Structure 1
Amino acid sequence: MLAISTDFGATLAHWKKELNASYPMLSDHMRTVSEQYGVLIKQLGLSNRATFVIDKDGKIVNIQEGNEAIDPTGADEACSRLAHRKSQ
């Protein structure tokens, strides 16, 4: 798991410490990744909150955007389905 944000690195370092996050937080301050994944809100220069579950082959298997992305349940379920497929 990793987080990507349009915030600058210093801001992300603060949030990582504040949240006691164990996963990497990467800065997309140039908005390149946000634009490539279709979540950039150009008028605001920000990305929409989004969660992508990507399998080992690089295929996006689940996307949640906006308020849905706040609750990790959908992403957790998608990861569980991937793990189940892998074990078969």
Structure 2
Amino acid sequence: MGIIGSEIKPFNATAFQEGKGFFDVNEADVKGKWAVFFFYPADFTFVCPTELEDMADQYAELQTLGVEVYSVSTDTHFSHKAWHDSSPAISKIKFPMLGDQLHTISNNFGVLRESMGLSDRATFVVDPDGVIQVMEITSEGVGRNATELVRKIKAAQYVRAHPGQVCPAKWEEGAETLAPSLDLVGKI
């Protein structure tokens, strides 16, 4: 797919966020901080609210890490507000919910199912330079885990802050990292 290491493309969207109402968001608003683009197929569905509620439960920790979350579906910002106002799970959301009814953002990230007009279930972590560092795409029936996403973000932030270091499988904050070198080849 070649999306890891690429810079996010220009977009304009209208968001709904509790306490802020409707407002515009574009790629320039994202740069300068860590961001998560959390795509899901549709409002008022089944797996989607469980994932968004899970993300809402991790939002405070993500904020302490300097990460903004943008949930994205091809629904409108009006639909996001109606869902937020009517669903106990979605009412927990404090992050911006982007409407992508023109499919610009979904196309930019390569996750639009054109035959349906819906986004795939996909997550992208973008660094402060606007470069995609992490991605995850699952099938329609497989929900994601926000706790694991937080772990991946911490690893990406560590690697960015510590050039020459990499985080092995299941790395947790404070655990040992690796320094790739010729001497390490074949010894793991």
> Same fold, TM exceeding 0.5?
yes
TM-score (norm 2): 0.42
Q: Which runs of 4+ in 1 moved over 4 A?
A: none
Deviations 1:29-64 (A, max 9, x none): 011110111000011111101110111111111111
Aligned residues: 88
1:1-88 matched pairs, under 5 angstroms: 1-17=69-85, 18=87, 19=90, 20-67=92-139, 70-85=144-159, 88=162
Name the aligned partner's letter for residue 39 of structure 1.
Answer: V
**Greater relative contact order (Cα < 8 A, sep 6+):** 2
Counterpart secondary structure, 2:136: strand
Structure 1: tracts of 5 or more residues without a match:
none
Q: Which has the higher helix share?
A: 1
Gaps of 5+ in 2: 1-68, 163-188
Normalised by the length of structure 1, the TM-score is 0.83
Identity across aligned pairs (percent)?
A: 30
Corresponding residue for 2:46?
none
Give secondary structure in 2 for the equivalent of 1:2. strand
